[in-house]
Amino acid sequence: MATPENKLAFDGGWDYAPAPESTDHARIDKRYGLFIGGDFVSPEKGRYFDTINPANEQKLARVAKGSELDVDKAVKAARKAYAGPWGRMKAKERGKYVFRIARMIAERSREFAAIESLDGGKPIRESRDIDVPLASAHFFYYAGWADKLEYAFPGRRAKPLGVAGQIIPWNFPLLMAAWKLAPALACGNTVVLKPAETTPLTALKLAELIADADLPPGVVNVVTGAGDTGAAIVTHPGVDKIAFTGSTGVGRIIQRALAGTKKKYTLELGGKAANIIFADAAIDQAVEGIVNGIFFNQGHVCCAGSRLLVQESVADEVIQKLKDRMETLIVGDPLDKNTDIGAINSKMQLEKIDSYLEIGQQEGAEMYQSSVSVPKSGYWCRPTIFTGVAQSNRVVQEEIFGPVLAIQTFRSFDEAVEKANNTPYGLSGGVWTDKGAKIFKMTQSVRAGVIWANTFNKFDPTSPFGGYKESGVGREGGLHGLDAYVRLEA
Ligand code: NAP
Ligand code: MG
């Protein structure tokens, strides 16, 4: 039956019947404490905040607001575990725990996927097929390294750093927790993790899983809270390493706070990736790549293809095909398996995106929005493109973190490179062409940590990820990801 949520806007098109994922199997408690020293404990100051479902603005749970007192407790619990059972454990045994976490995430994948979509607003198709399997894959991958570090660093002895403070954002809550925890644990560190304020639930479910996996108390601690909770982790003298994923603005504050200290750090920050389409590309495939790069997951992706650079001779064709495709995207209930674009993660983020829609128009760009219908309650943004933009426009230079694409054209290879590189960021990029030589030349010319060729947003735990310029410091994933959690001795 046609509902506003699932109606395809094509003339003479078809409707999909709603296919909502059941949430019966997802257990969410009314209230969560902090996971410290292997137990859920009340916050010292007794403060809690609500986490809501951004698709309907309904409250899901009350979550503890950790203060600096709680952070201190968590760091001490992590230190005790590091000095005790975890630090003394043979690498081979440590690896078995990490394998166990990987297997248990896979076993509980349906519950994790449903809760990820409820708490963060992302489509179930994505949490089910991308976030949760990749999170499990990261633990599997790093579990394998635990007792093989001598092969990762031949001729050197790799020692853990100690207590790692890890701060993560709201766009891939479980996956970012896995990116951070898996290499840290495999290398023998203990951890204090802070999830984002709007998406704490899967990190708390992961804490339950870690307790069920019988990890020694204090090896992993989860302290929920707001920005000041994160700041308390950064400045705590008992922390040996900070791993942060989030905005470039907060990354700068953290880097400043860490300057002159002995703490090691990695920062994974923002991006403004260019998807570069040459005239010789497979155009239909490229249009799908653009859609996948910026519209899926509501554009809440640090490496999203938020800029399109299209060769002039095919620009009209590509833009028309893109507009047609935008009309068929389904925006709505994140739990519906037909949904392409879920809810914007928070009211604040929606306001930020809306402000950029204003800015783009004030700067003189032409805005086009898909006419798809969106639900009445909750936070939503229609897929949007800007054409007629200049390189200096804010919608070209700044990260919007929503389903908003800025489109520019180019004539020559060099012009594409020049435009692609002309932002403060350098996290990712995409190139679409049928010429292998052009792909290789482009990957050497675009200054970004990852470049996809004839595809976009593909991830694998064996592959390093990280930014150039203002997109960050250090790499996560793959062999490179181990380096961030060890001290090398002769
Ligand atoms: P954010 O505002 O920087 O927050 C990230 C995390 O830091 C959250 O847990 C946040 O807590 C915490 N935080 C806020 N202020 C802090 C402070 N002064 N000290 C320590 N921690 C603090 O970023 P976001 O809006 O959540 O996430 C979106 C950003 O993440 C985008 O810029 C995106 O590009 C980036 N991102 C980058 C990557 C990558 O790998 N490069 C991956 C994903 C996302 P609260 O939630 O409580 O504010
Ligand atoms: Mg939420």
Q: What is the pLDDT of residues 288-344, one digit of tens each?
A: 999 999 999 899 999 999 999 999 999 999 999 999 999 999 999 999 999 999 999
What's the average model confidence in pLDDT over 423-427?
98
Kindly report the pTM of this predicted structure. Answer: 0.96
In a domain, 410, yes or no: yes
In residues, how long is the chain? 490
Q: What is the pLDDT of residue 8?
A: 47
**15 has pLDDT over 80:** no
Sequence-separated (6 or more) residues with CB below 8 Å from residue 282: 432, 434, 454
Q: What is the DSSP string of 72-112?
A: HHHHHHHHHHHHTHHHHS-HHHHHHHHHHHHHHHHHTHHHH
**Ligand nearest 427 Cα, by number?**
1
**372 has pLDDT over 90:** yes
The amino acid at residue 387 is: T
Q: Whole-angstrom Cα distance, residue 187 to residue 487?
A: 10
What's the average model confidence in pLDDT over 252-259?
97
278 shares a domain with 236: no
317 shares a domain with 179: no
DSSP category for residue 18:
P
CA 483 to chain centre: 21
Q: Whole-angstrom Cα distance, residue 471 to residue 232?
A: 23
194 lines ligand 1 (CB under 6 A): yes
Number of structural domains found in the chain = 2
268 lines ligand 1 (CB under 6 A): yes
CA 229 to centroid of ligand 1, rounded, Å: 12
In a domain, 4, yes or no: no
Q: What is the pLDDT of residue 299?
A: 97
In a domain, 13, yes or no: no
CB count within 10 Å of CB 107 equals 12
**Atom number in ligand 1 closest to CA 399:** 32
CA 120 to centroid of ligand 2, rounded, Å: 5
CA 311 to centroid of ligand 1, rounded, Å: 34
319 shares a domain with 374: yes
In a domain, 17, yes or no: no
The helix (H) or strand (E) run that includes residue 309 is strand 307-311
Out of 198, 245, 397, give the residue to mutate to test ligand 1, the one with the largest number of ligand atoms within 8 Å of its CB: 245
N-to-C CA span, the chain:
68
The residue among 125, 120, 55, 20 whose CA lies nearest residue 332 is 55
CA 214 to chain centre: 28
The CATH number of the domain holding residue 59 is 3.40.605.10
Encode 425-434: b = buried (16+ Cβ within 10 Å), e = exposed: bbbbbbbbbe
In a domain, 356, yes or no: yes
**Ligand nearest 170 Cα, by number?**
1
CA 357 to centroid of ligand 1, rounded, Å: 22
In a domain, 15, yes or no: no
The CATH number of the domain holding residue 420 is 3.40.309.10
**Percent of the chain whose predicted confidence (pLDDT) is above 90:** 96
What's the average model confidence in pLDDT over 105-125?
98
178 lines ligand 1 (CB under 6 A): no
**6 has pLDDT over 90:** no
**Atom number in ligand 1 closest to CA 172:** 43
450 shares a domain with 311: yes
255 lines ligand 1 (CB under 6 A): no
91 shares a domain with 154: yes
311 shares a domain with 254: no
265 shares a domain with 279: no
Q: Whole-angstrom Cα distance, residue 29 to residue 138?
A: 27
The residue among 281, 258, 245 whose CA lies nearest residue 173 is 245
**Ligand nearest 63 Cα, by number?**
2
Query: Collapsing DSSP states into helix, strand and coil, what is residue 450?
Result: strand
Q: What is the pLDDT of residue 13?
A: 56
Instruction: Tell me which of 13-22, 88-97, 138-147, 380-389 is least confident.
Output: 13-22
156 shares a domain with 42: yes
230 lines ligand 1 (CB under 6 A): yes
131 lines ligand 1 (CB under 6 A): no
Q: What is the DSSP string of 149-201?
A: HHHHSTTSEEEE-SEEEEE--SSSHHHHHHHHHHHHHHTT-EEEEE--TT--H
Q: What is the pLDDT of residue 1?
A: 41
CA 439 to centroid of ligand 2, rounded, Å: 40
Q: What is the DSSP string of 251-302?
A: HHHHHHHHTTSS-EEEEE----PEEEE-TTS-HHHHHHHHHHHHTGGGG--T
How much of the chain is helix, strand and coil, in % rounded to 5?
Answer: 40, 20, 40
Going by alpha carbons, the residue nearest to atom 42 of ligand 1 is 302
Q: Could you report the per-residue pLDDT of 215-245, keeping only the tens digit for each?
A: 999 999 999 999 999 999 999 999 999 999 9
297 shares a domain with 359: yes
CA 384 to centroid of ligand 2, rounded, Å: 24
Q: Whole-angstrom Cα distance, residue 81 to residue 95?
A: 16
57 shares a domain with 115: yes
In a domain, 26, yes or no: no
344 shares a domain with 262: no
Question: Are 464 and 477 a contacting pair, CB within 8 Å?
Answer: yes
260 shares a domain with 286: no
Name the residue range of residue 355's domain: 274-460
**Ligand nearest 120 Cα, by number?**
2
What's the average model confidence in pLDDT over 118-134?
98
Catalytic positions are 268, 302
The pLDDT mean for the chain works out to 96
In a domain, 316, yes or no: yes
| Cα-based angle 327, 333, 336 (whole degrees, multiple of 5) | 95
